[in-house]
Structure 1
Amino acid sequence: MTMSLTEKKNLIVRNLQEVLGDEKIDAILKERDLKIYWGTATTGRPHIAYFVPISKIADYLKAGCEVKILFADLHAYLDNMKAPWELLELRVQYYEHSIKAMLTSIGVPLDKLKFVRGTEYQLSKEYTMDVYRLSSCITEHDAKKAGAEVVKQVENPLLSGLLYPGLQALDEEYLKVDAQFGGVDQRKIFTLSEKYLPQMGYTKRIHLMNPMVPGLAGGKMSSSEEDSKIDLLDTPATVKKKLKKAFCEPGNVADNGLLAFAKHVIFGLFKPDEKFKVSRNESNGGDLNFGTYEELELCFAEQKLHPADLKSSIEFYINRLLDPIRKIFEKPELQQLVTKAYPPPVKATKVSQKNGINQETDEVLPSRLDIRVGKIIEISLHPDADSLYVEKIDIGEQEPRTIVSGLVKFVSIEEMKNRNVVVLCNLKPAKMRGVESCGMVLCATNELDGVKFVEPLEPSEDSKPGDRVIIESYEQGEPDKILNPKKKIWEKLQVDLKMSDNCEAQWQSNYLITKYGKIKCKSLKGAHIS
């Protein structure tokens, strides 16, 4: 059946949060089908959350668009060179098989889909020359601003992080597409592309943006965190186990990954007249059927649908999606590919302990940090430094600790007195202008137009000195007695510590919590923690 231009346009833009260049879509569709690309770095294994962008790619293919999926293997290699080329080659193959299997699972034709590797053109003379040309146009301010949401922000950023937004802009030209599709977190990269590509004589492209969808297991699903994601090859029993841990607060529709998955994946894949079914015992009110996502959301918001029943229904639909993928990957050659592309990690063990410092080769996990609630019981200005406080902090030990903090310019002494703070306790003691500091008061920090803002992290009101602060999904394991400064464990973990848009402290989207609740700051959304 021939699809009208209006029907094609509706498929292209449905469920998107924002479109830049909407009018261009209409103009192109009058002449031909749209050409779109979506890029992904071939690092961690694709998981269930990939169905969100894949479902939109399904929309584009159904609308007759030509879609290119870019496997950003060069970017993956340059990500601290964590994986050798041989392993990345296998992972590119796994990504291609996985994405084809996902599209097959939802019944989407693949004839207008093309897979491209970044290294197929990003190492060419022409592309390299354009990188140099672009570098002579883009200011450091614009490059840093563009990558703020997607490039890890550290005090001394690598040059590659500043280049990243420009490289992504050039991909649009070299892939010869009309539009780039991505998450709304890439908006600043998209606007940088729209500003600078025309300066190089290239066409400004359309940009299609998905909303940022919360993960099923609370926060964002991460490929690197086994317990925070549902893998495409997880068994039904594993799916059930992981969904039991999913955050699903009664009546909460704003931060609910289960509902988000229903909206952006399940309902979009229904056939005409198919409804979302919730199976319940007669004693619990009997089965429910929802023709639209809005009906489902309203029912849950009014607490007429129990979280356990919603989880059970989502479990059914997830397994319905995963069953064809599991079947495809039963082939011996694909089983072998999975094992080679993602070999099981080799867990090293502690070999000795010397001078209170662990001599070890363990993974750098957040459970190694000793973070506790502390109460400032005494505070004064540092005798030899105008910008430093010297604090006596009760962290639940026999004697309070002396900690030196550079907060004079940001928080007054009166605000700090008798205040509960969050303290990193297992840094190696260090002298700061003659005073030994035995820990660090953790703060949210941000910079706007050259002005720095700092706010101490705040534990919940019921917290007491000595209460341990843990990171969700990393409750197991004992902290190091003292972090080995030579291995830079704190520095490696700190990169992923930041505040959410709700001013809640997170590490890779896993919340920092005490037994009484989440760690927060006063107002600095999206700030980094140091």
Structure 2
Amino acid sequence: MTDLAEKKHLITRNLQEVLGEDRMLEILKQRDLKIYWGTATTGRPHVAYFVPMSKIADFLKAGCEVTILFADLHAYLDNMKAPWELLALRTQYYEAAIKAMLTSIGVSIDKLRFVRGTEYQLGKEYTLDVYRMSSVITEHDAKKAGAEVVKQVDHPLLSGLLYPGLQALDEEHLKVDAQFGGVDQRKIFTLAEKYLPQLGYAKRVHFMNPMVPGLTGAKMSSSEEESKIDLLDNPANVKKKLKKAFCEPGNITDNGVLSFTKHVIFPLMKEGETFKICRASEHGGDVEYTNFDDLEKAFEKEEVHPGDLKASVEKCINKLLAPIQEIFKDPKLQELTKKAYPPPTKAKGNANAATDEITPSKLDIRVGRIVEVSLHPDADSLYVEKIDVGEAEPRTIVSGLVNFVPIEEMQNRDVVVLCNLKAAKMRGVESKGMVLCASIDEPKLVEPLLPPKDSNPGDRIIIEGYETGEPDDVLNPKKKVWEKLQADLKTNDNLLAVWQGNKLISKVNGNPVMTKSMKNAPIK
């Protein structure tokens, strides 16, 4: 391929942003581009990884030299998402999975260079550059750069602050012209453009994919079981997850199923292939699309039904997964899968608790609706509320909101309720839960949290990053589980309820818990 315009089209199509396009064109006039894509070896790769894989296929078609970095050290530095003892095993799993995915889409892995971060990041030259980088980069810039990528907590480890600078240095030590990643890494890319020249190194080109919504409508996550289809999911599981996938008629903005067709299915179609929607003759019969724009317009006009779209995407996903699953029938790879991602061990005597570790997955937080409210007969500052939390009968909960919310505003109000506190008598009335509020002491202000948009009584509230595991039946008061977890519950600058920076969201639709007006207030 010699046509510069065609190379540029292949390299940049479906990207959300390119930083340094002029530099890219100057290099392409002289030689082929050298690009790297890195992936931190944390949770198991899932079908969303076909999005970067399809772009890597584009880069190769354009004649680019592509390096895939298995960022094992970065996986550990990001709040130890990959435990040190599992790091090597997870890196092996990623290498096998990524190679299998590329084989599935017809990309020759002979044209690729695979590198593990620890192959060069522990060497003398790289280590000296880390020290040099730390002497010029500010704590503010390091934290800002990692805000969309590194797990954010109130008291960050130094490792998380090192992460963005190390990723910037990878560009120099891998000897590439450009780095490719998601738009969530934009701040790391701009940090690289600012600081690499200060170390005497060239400024690189940066290619950014849009963030593709998951099946729930939010970002597809390795840790959220229902939002992603695992590479080893059988056809029955694929059907089950796609059936639950958010795919609202006419909605083309937050539609993970439609996005998958745009970023994976259409780019991978060979010349002459079409995307076929199979349907009964009474519903219009089969229809074929040669480009995504036509499919998107038809879906927006509701000419294509979500169920028919899902059925067609299901066939495409199973076709992509079949070669991968054939490769993973190898007993050695099956053993590797078990060792790299061992199932959580059950704590003795408690089938619901994965471990004795105190994590927010222990909390049973639900949306509640106050169906009846009255003043406490023996306490002027307390309400006695009957709250529907999705059970056969409403719960009785006592809360100290008399001085902050008028009684007429309490009736039929939707609230956020902690349901697994040990029942306690409050001035003679047994309370079986707590209405969660943003609260500050001086001046004394209390504001009930706002449940997620489009939620119903009984909907579970979970904390992002802690989606797995079942809540305890009753929080152990002797171990002060609630007190320890509550210390990190607060509202943030954007009025979102968070735990150590991780949003409280609906397990049903992913929408966040918020507060009406109180920023940076403890949640009690």
Among 474, 482, 486, the residue aligned to 1:481 = 474
SS across alignment from 1:115 = strand
Task: Report the CA distance shift for 1:228/1:492 in structure 2 as closer, same or farther (over 3 A).
Answer: farther
Could you tell me how far 1:399 is from its partner in structure 2? Answer: 5.0
Separation in 2 of the partners of 1:52 and 1:26? 24
SS across alignment from 1:57 = helix
Could you tell me how far 1:371 is from its partner in structure 2? Answer: 3.7
Among 439, 454, 458, the residue aligned to 2:450 = 458
Task: Report the CA distance shift for 1:134/1:307 in structure 2 as closer, same or farther (over 3 A).
Answer: same
AA matched with 1:285:
G
Of 130-139 and 167-176, the range deviating more from structure 2? 130-139
Could you tell me how far 1:87 is from its partner in structure 2? Answer: 2.7
SS across alignment from 2:179 = strand
Structure 1 residue 512 and structure 2 residue 500: aligned? Answer: no
Could you tell me how far 1:133 is from its partner in structure 2? Answer: 1.8
Which residue of structure 2 lines up, in the alignment, with residue 316 of structure 1?
Answer: 315
Structure 1 residue 468 and structure 2 residue 458: aligned? Answer: yes
User: Does structure 2 conserve the Cα–Cα contact (< 8 Å) formed by 1:393 and 1:402?
Assistant: no
Structure 1 residue 38 and structure 2 residue 42: aligned? Answer: no
Among 361, 372, 376, the residue aligned to 2:356 = 361
Of 246-255 and 336-345, the range deviating more from structure 2? 336-345
1:79-478 map, 5 Å: 79-81=78-80, 83-351=82-350, 361=356, 364=359, 366=361, 368-373=363-368, 394=385, 396=387, 397-402=395-400, 418=410, 420-424=414-418, 426=420, 439=434, 441-442=436-437, 457-459=449-451, 467-471=457-461, 477=470
SS across alignment from 1:195 = helix
User: Does structure 2 conserve the Cα–Cα contact (< 8 Å) formed by 1:40 and 1:71?
Assistant: yes
SS across alignment from 1:468 = coil
Could you tell me how far 1:221 is from its partner in structure 2? Answer: 2.5
User: Does structure 1 conserve the Cα–Cα contact (< 8 Å) formed by 2:37 and 2:181?
Assistant: yes
Which residue of structure 2 lines up, in the alignment, with residue 450 of structure 1?
Answer: none
Which residue of structure 2 lines up, in the alignment, with residue 17 of structure 1?
Answer: 16
Q: Deviations over 1:222-251 (max 9, x none)?
A: 223333321112222221122111111111
AA matched with 1:470:
R
Separation in 2 of the partners of 1:270 and 1:494? 52
AA matched with 2:56:
I
AA matched with 2:416:
V
Task: Report the CA distance shift for 1:477/1:212 in structure 2 as closer, same or farther (over 3 A).
Answer: same
Separation in 2 of the partners of 1:496 and 1:88? 30
Separation in 2 of the partners of 1:359 and 1:94? 24
Separation in 1 of the partners of 2:498 and 2:80? 28
Separation in 1 of the partners of 2:382 and 2:135? 48
Query: Gapped runs of 5+ residues in structure 1?
Result: 380-389, 406-411, 431-436, 446-453
User: Does structure 1 conserve the Cα–Cα contact (< 8 Å) formed by 2:143 and 2:161?
Assistant: yes
SS across alignment from 1:400 = strand
User: Does structure 2 conserve the Cα–Cα contact (< 8 Å) formed by 1:33 and 1:65?
Assistant: yes
User: Does structure 2 conserve the Cα–Cα contact (< 8 Å) formed by 1:497 and 1:508?
Assistant: no
User: Does structure 2 conserve the Cα–Cα contact (< 8 Å) formed by 1:20 and 1:208?
Assistant: yes
Could you tell me how far 1:153 is from its partner in structure 2? Answer: 1.9
User: Does structure 2 conserve the Cα–Cα contact (< 8 Å) formed by 1:28 and 1:34?
Assistant: yes
Separation in 2 of the partners of 1:60 and 1:461? 41
Could you tell me how far 1:365 is from its partner in structure 2? Answer: 6.4
Task: Report the CA distance shift for 1:505/1:485 in structure 2 as closer, same or farther (over 3 A).
Answer: same
User: Does structure 2 conserve the Cα–Cα contact (< 8 Å) formed by 1:370 and 1:480?
Assistant: no
Separation in 1 of the partners of 2:317 and 2:354? 44
AA matched with 1:468:
G
AA matched with 1:187:
R
Query: Gapped runs of 5+ residues in structure 2?
Result: 376-380, 388-394, 425-430, 441-445
User: Does structure 2 conserve the Cα–Cα contact (< 8 Å) formed by 1:36 and 1:67?
Assistant: yes
Q: Deviations over 1:419-443 (max 9, x none)?
A: 754344556899xxxxxx9857355
State the Cα RMSD in Å.
Answer: 4.3
Separation in 2 of the partners of 1:462 and 1:215? 18
User: Does structure 2 conserve the Cα–Cα contact (< 8 Å) formed by 1:169 and 1:193?
Assistant: yes
AA matched with 2:26:
A
SS across alignment from 2:30 = coil
User: Does structure 2 conserve the Cα–Cα contact (< 8 Å) formed by 1:169 and 1:190?
Assistant: yes
Of 133-142 and 173-182, the range deviating more from structure 2? 133-142
Q: Deviations over 1:307-350 (max 9, x none)?
A: 11001000111111111112222223322322332233322344
User: Does structure 2 conserve the Cα–Cα contact (< 8 Å) formed by 1:214 and 1:256?
Assistant: yes
Could you tell me how far 1:71 is from its partner in structure 2? Answer: 0.9
Could you tell me how far 1:518 is from its partner in structure 2? Answer: 5.2
Normalised by the length of structure 2, the TM-score is 0.80
Which residue of structure 2 lines up, in the alignment, with residue 408 of structure 1?
Answer: none
Could you tell me how far 1:20 is from its partner in structure 2? Answer: 0.2
Could you tell me how far 1:481 is from its partner in structure 2? Answer: 2.0
Task: Report the CA distance shift for 1:372/1:110 in structure 2 as closer, same or farther (over 3 A).
Answer: closer
Separation in 2 of the partners of 1:232 and 1:359? 24
- Percent of aligned positions with the same letter in both sequences? 58
Could you tell me how far 1:272 is from its partner in structure 2? Answer: 1.5
Task: Report the CA distance shift for 1:119/1:108 in structure 2 as closer, same or farther (over 3 A).
Answer: same
Separation in 2 of the partners of 1:335 and 1:359? 23
